[in-house]
Structure 1
């Protein structure tokens, strides 16, 4: 069993000032190569008490590691809610959702309240909602989701806006009955319309995103 001091020393060794500078331009406050962090996590294996200690440090790299060595089902809904509200890094938020919340027991319980939260909390809620849209939309009111996106996305904080736009696109891609409305909302709001996309990548502007992914799905059918 590794001690918190041992692990924090290892994380300090992995720190790269140039990587920290690059990450900070994206709103992330850590300088650890994530591939090397995953390698460390594989060696440590699951250690829930260590994960709690790592999270308690408040250090983003330590918290990223905590999401990989914790026991997701050991957290209560209240603990997860407190944790998500203490996250200030987009990368940590995404790892927390993927590695802790989704494999845990409380994602659907927490999703609606988070969806109405600000910035990163809102991003968490909409990320979970998008997962439902794609994987298991039964019981979701897609029209109500589109109503909320149409009303709130244009003015939403950047991190939440990005997740809402992703949800809009996936509704249009996976639910043909909602496609025309989803495209129309995207065109009217024009969110991320001018966002630069790398060559070969689909732009995040929802109408183009929807059209391209539907085309690919139809060609692959």
Structure 2
């Protein structure tokens, strides 16, 4: 994505341009269908993900504009905000404020997979947010962890083994959007390499023994994939 100088302040016209681009791609007729999948938000415009990515590419990296887009409260604008934000400039306070502002899983996951993933504070936030009571803040912890398991090539196994303890600690959370993210993180860690596959399988069996409905679902789904032929074949091919 092309970068603008980080000290450049967006003009009101630039924010207006960004909002005009968003409104031009609005799909109000899609909102009811999106809501059935938990993609909600009072001011949502109904943009498709490809449309939001195109708008982000057009706007380029612009951290101040990202903050202004976030402040609109429009879910689609908040997704684009995550795409144009400068991860290196996101403060801990801004990340916490954005996480507290999540109202749907798609905004949570998209921002975690863009701005938060590349932040130097990503791992710290996983640990902090995993202990939070708010559903979408806690989801953010495990959505971010799931994304780190795929994209953080520099992280060693020890970081993910430590994260498995966070997963085990959250496995009893019955809230749908939390337990699905916990499961996602567990599966992604277990697909990273053979050693982590075994560690994740062991963690899943401990989770299964917790006995709660959420824990049993998380464990059964993860074990089905992590012990399955497809994952095992891919891991063996990497050796």
Offset at residue 121 of structure 1 (A): 1.0
- Equivalent pair of 2:113/2:147 in contact (CA under 8 Å): no
The 5 A counterparts of 1:139-150 are 139-140=158-159, 142=161, 145-150=163-168
1:159 paired with 2:185, answer no
- Equivalent pair of 1:116/1:122 in contact (CA under 8 Å): yes
1:22 paired with 2:37, answer no
The 5 A counterparts of 1:1-150 are 2-29=13-40, 30=44, 31-117=46-132, 118-133=134-149, 135=153, 136-140=155-159, 142=161, 145-150=163-168
Query: What is the count of residue pairs matched by the alignment?
Result: 210
Q: Which residue of 1 aligns with 2:224?
A: 208
Output the TM-score relative to the length of structure 1: 0.80
Q: What is the aligned counterpart of 1:181 among 202, 205, 227? A: 202
Deviation larger for 132-141 or 58-67: 132-141
Q: What is the aligned counterpart of 2:216 among 190, 215, 220? A: 190
Partners of 1:86 and 1:28 lie apart in 2 by 15
Offset at residue 219 of structure 1 (A): 5.2
- Equivalent pair of 1:115/1:125 in contact (CA under 8 Å): yes
In structure 2, the CA distance between the partners of 1:18 and 1:108, relative to structure 1 (3 Å rule), is same
Partners of 1:3 and 1:18 lie apart in 2 by 27
In structure 2, the CA distance between the partners of 1:101 and 1:205, relative to structure 1 (3 Å rule), is same
Partners of 2:58 and 2:198 lie apart in 1 by 47
Partners of 1:70 and 1:146 lie apart in 2 by 29
Partners of 1:16 and 1:44 lie apart in 2 by 21
In structure 2, the CA distance between the partners of 1:32 and 1:111, relative to structure 1 (3 Å rule), is same
Offset at residue 185 of structure 1 (A): 3.7
CA RMSD in angstroms comes to 2.7
In structure 2, the CA distance between the partners of 1:94 and 1:147, relative to structure 1 (3 Å rule), is closer
- Equivalent pair of 1:187/1:207 in contact (CA under 8 Å): no
